[in-house]
Structure 1
Amino acid sequence: MKRSGKDTGTPLHLQIRESLRADIRSGKYALGEKVPSTSQLCEMHNVSAITVRRAISDLIGEGVLRGIFSRGVYVASAASGKAPASRVIGVIFSYDEMNPFFGQVFKGIQDVLKLFGYNTFLETSREDESAEAAIIRKMLNDGVSGIIMTPCDRHVKGESVELINGLAERGFPIVLVDFKPEGANAACVCADNEEAGRSSTRYLLELGHRKIAFLSKEDLPTISARLRGFRQAFQEAGLKIDERLVKTRVPRMNRIDSAIVRTRELFSGPGVRPTAVLSTTDETSVGIYRECQELSLMPGKDISVATVDRTPFNSTLRPRIAAAAIPLFEMGREAAGIVLRKISEPGWQVTQDVVLKSQFSEGESCCPPR
């Protein structure tokens, strides 16, 4: 059994990587030939599977190896094209695909990929940065032809951002959806969240509302953009926001429960009572409606409610909610199209992020202030 030297000071995955590179250069593994499996390499070098996967991931990123989904890893050069190409695109969501937001994005992705004979390999990071990085490496090892991902909301270690940037710089087809983490340089498809917040707020202001509450559970990049749009609409109208009505960050609660608590505070507490509420997510809208029902407040009659996020999750709310609908399905389609073009035209680069406009519809949930 071959044993990698553990006393050289060189990280084990780098030792494995260079050992494989040397074997390829010597002709031990020819172009198009399958290299030993992860388990075989673990046994050969007496190291863990994680170490082997990191080594293989590096060589795949360099174009020395090429992973073929469900078949193994083969020797290839960046220009040879001799290894059979995978027709699988990796999709990474930060939440479960059953979430209405990601469900619509995924439908858009599949709508395009199926037309061109591609399948999807779906994984969920569940907002775990380390898990996100591990999934990227796993997908590379499994030989996906490209990756579409909604990044985690917060990146503290920077591990996955470093991976994303490395892939983008090498021309690997990777596209971000929804937002771009700080420091990331890959192509991104997103919605104009600032304009969505602005148009929804402007509609409420035009109805005569001045005491408008802004409800959100988290201070996320997309929510921050919607809040900027909210503030911009007030500024353009020459009006001042009552900051007591800007409600964000309720810890240890899901979005629906958070909205219920905040709505109860707004309409039952001793503070300023709003005449309108702007919701920032579909789940927040559901929570607002539930608490309004408890308080015997009818949206569109006693109170105005608008949102910056219409999905199937809140499309059944009655009265129908006024919304700047984020084009989730179109975002998925656009991301899939970019990945496929980068696969077919390896030298093609996206010169700027793709920003899609929301579409505002008035619904039946708003009325002039009473």
Structure 2
Amino acid sequence: MKGPNDLLILAAGRLPQGRYGGSLAGLGAVSLGRSAVEGLLADATLPRPRSVLWGMARSHTQGMNPARTLALGAGLPADTPAFTVNMACGSSLQALILAAQRLRDGAEAPILAGGSEAMSDTPHLVPGLRWGFRMGHRQLPDVMHHDGLRCPVTGLLMGETIERLAAKRGVTRLEADAWAAESHRRAVAADFGAELLPYPRLDHDESIRPGITEEGLARLAPVFDPQGQVTAGNASALSDGAAAILVARRDQVRDAVPLARILGWSEAGVDPLDMGEAPVPAVQRLLAAHGLAVTDIDLWELNEAFSAQLLVCQLQLDLPPERLNVAGGGVALGHPIGATGARIVATLIHQLRRRGGGLGVATLGIGGGLGLAVLLEVPA
């Protein structure tokens, strides 16, 4: 049932995602974000955004408040406010939630939400250099490792927490490899034409590997524990990318034809050691708030930070595999941290449209033990 306060998604798209050190390396997260904004707003029928909320989790060297820089670089007027959101893997999904909350509270529409990440370009730092060195060795911390892949609460790398979680929940290496291979198979078969924004440097997702098999994945050595199960093949690919979403309230854009309606959202926190299963309580809260069951949801996008992590959540929520990440996920497509939340929303919307509409949930786990989930409806 339509109402004047409905929160509408007017457009959603993303750049093709580049592999680590691949075609998008060296461009920077601001440049990628600017290109996504320009690509989305190239549709002259769309209203111009009145503010920008942008996710970015590795903003070192990208200047102060990258959201403002990319907004102006994309040609938005100087009176367009913008700010940057850093919630690690949840950055751009939180940007979308904040946009929805602002619109619900009466903010001027539309709002552009999204995110970008250039993981290939994250720098190394030289702590202490400001005051000078006299004697002894010095470390050069890797920003991606130090400020992204390691949890400062537990001291563990994300993959190390997943090893513990998989053992705790009984997910095996064989199952993780099987899902990883399936993620690539689904991505190879998927049609991303409706969600991909044109970009001269790249026209496809570089991390997808046709012909990958469980047998091939089984030959890869574990990364974090010699007796463990997380490998380079069943974890998400490091990558570069950007995604953008234009949101408005129905009474502010009466003539617009929406792609989707935002019905609700939820947040949850768990023990940081159990970071990977934080989507479980987030989804449970979201469904309960709307009187829905898992079987009511037509498609699910649950970020594949690790295959084992996805399977832990899938088993606890009893998600039907045929409705989960139907176009592949982060293992095949890549996981550009600050962009992923908006990317899974764009994929969810366009995959639902291909199937005639329905309800969808986008959810992900976040380092430090946080989970986000968003409920969408795509009209038939």
- In the superposition, the TM-score normalised over structure 2's length comes to 0.24
Q: Which has the higher contact order (CA 8 A, sep 6+)?
A: 2
Greater helix proportion: 1
- In the superposition, the TM-score normalised over structure 1's length comes to 0.25
